[in-house]
Amino acid sequence: MDELSAVGVVSEEVPTHRHGAGRPSLLVLPQAEAVPVLAVDVGVEQVTVALAGVGGRLLGVRGWTLRRGQGSPEEAVEEIARARVDLVDELGCEPTRAGVSVPGVVRRSDGLVHEAPNLHWTGVPFGALLGDALGLPVDVGNDADLGALAEHTRGVARTSQDVVFLSADVGVGGGVILGGVSLRGSGGYVGELGHMVVNPTGRQCYCGCRGCLETEIGEDALCRALNLAAGTPRPVIVAELRSLAADGELALHRLSGFAEWLTLGLTNVLNLLAPELVVLGGLLAVLPPAVVSSVTTEVRRRSLVGRAAGSVRLATSALAGDAALVGAAELAFERVFAVS
């Protein structure tokens, strides 16, 4: 605490209300603006940039929408750099490092985006490009991995040591934390849960397989289940899901097929990884409670691990649309404090 206090990251204060005899313990409070980082969430349809402080506080945010699959890496870098200037001018504090979330396969060591199909990016040295533009060290991670990190540090998984984060948007991704540590795999490539094959006779996936989990529970699949046109704007999809929340029977009826594929995917995940908690993110976080409850019951019944453990839980994300952004900030803070 002395070292952190000396550099202004935390402050120590005497509590105003005392209970009992003896000397009161000091309160340790994070100082959000002491060592801010730049957090960036590069989504398929939106990019969000924030200055974030210690404790997960977003000090200021900028964002803009994209047409799906449009926008080059160079354009993204230019806009992110411009947003950084705007935030620094507004808040008067400079970031010490940047963390970036990208919906694709990312090499953690240098921020190379091996493949981000929904962005149409392949072999992009995004960490290096953005680092040169910002004049900052940049850490890049997969959006679902960072969602898992965010929920583990700031969300519903704070008290859980073995967690799977499954998020569905345009694509489907997963992040895994085992024993309190993010599972990153060889080269940082891990967690492509969306490309487990669950329906061999299903729709063609861009990866070359048929019936990947992504083709069965991604945004397009959810639109089909809700009788919405492909490409329906995200707010319309969310509104439709929320309208079903009040009628559990109707929700179960309309989303029965969707729920079946989600159940099958999660049953495989439980049998393989045996997490104590599964966090549903992205559009899955907006599923009607009756559907989440039904999937939970079925996953516990069907999975060998679920029947053995009995206590496997499903929960919706506490951070909702900010999970990847908060995770990007936490990724940067990991390196800031490691260096410190």
Q: DSSP secondary structure string, 120-132?
A: TEEEEEHHHHHHH
Which position has the token pair 């209970």? 19
pLDDT above 70 as % of the chain: 88
The SS3 assignment for 41 reads strand
User: What is the second-level CATH architecture of the domain 37-145?
Assistant: 2-Layer Sandwich (3.30)
Under CATH, to which class is 157-317 assigned?
alpha beta
Residues 260, 274 contacting (CB under 8 angstroms): no
Instruction: Provide the 10 A C-beta neighbour count for residue 221.
Output: 23
Residue 97 has a pLDDT of 95
Residue 279 has a pLDDT of 96
Which of residues 3 and 261 earns the better pLDDT score? 261
Confidence of residue 337 (pLDDT cuts 50, 70, 90): confident
pLDDT above 90 as % of the chain: 68
Helix (H) or strand (E) holding 91: helix 73-91
Residues 12, 28 contacting (CB under 8 angstroms): yes
Task: For residue range 152-163, list pLDDT tens digits in order.
Answer: 999 999 999 999
Instruction: Provide the 10 A C-beta neighbour count for residue 8.
Output: 12
Indicate the domain borders of the chain: 1-31, 37-145, 157-317
Task: For residue range 81-140, list pLDDT tens digits in order.
Answer: 999 999 999 999 999 999 999 999 999 889 999 999 889 999 999 999 999 999 999 999
| Tokens matching residue 315 | 């929960």
Considering the entire predicted model, what is its pTM? 0.86
Assess whether the region 37-145 and the region 157-317 belong to the same CATH fold: yes
Residue whose C-alpha is closest to residue 83's, from 67, 100, 69, 70: 100
Task: For residue range 266-310, list pLDDT tens digits in order.
Answer: 999 999 999 999 999 999 999 999 999 999 999 999 988 777 766
Residue 131 has a pLDDT of 97
For the range 246-250, what are the long-range contacts, defined as Cβ-Cβ under 8 Å and sequence gap of 24 or more?
248/288, 248/289, 248/290, 249/290
Confidence of residue 1 (pLDDT cuts 50, 70, 90): low
DSSP 23: P
Task: For residue range 197-239, list pLDDT tens digits in order.
Answer: 999 999 999 888 999 999 999 999 999 999 999 889 899 999 9
Residue 29 has pLDDT above 60, yes or no: no
Residue 33 has a pLDDT of 63
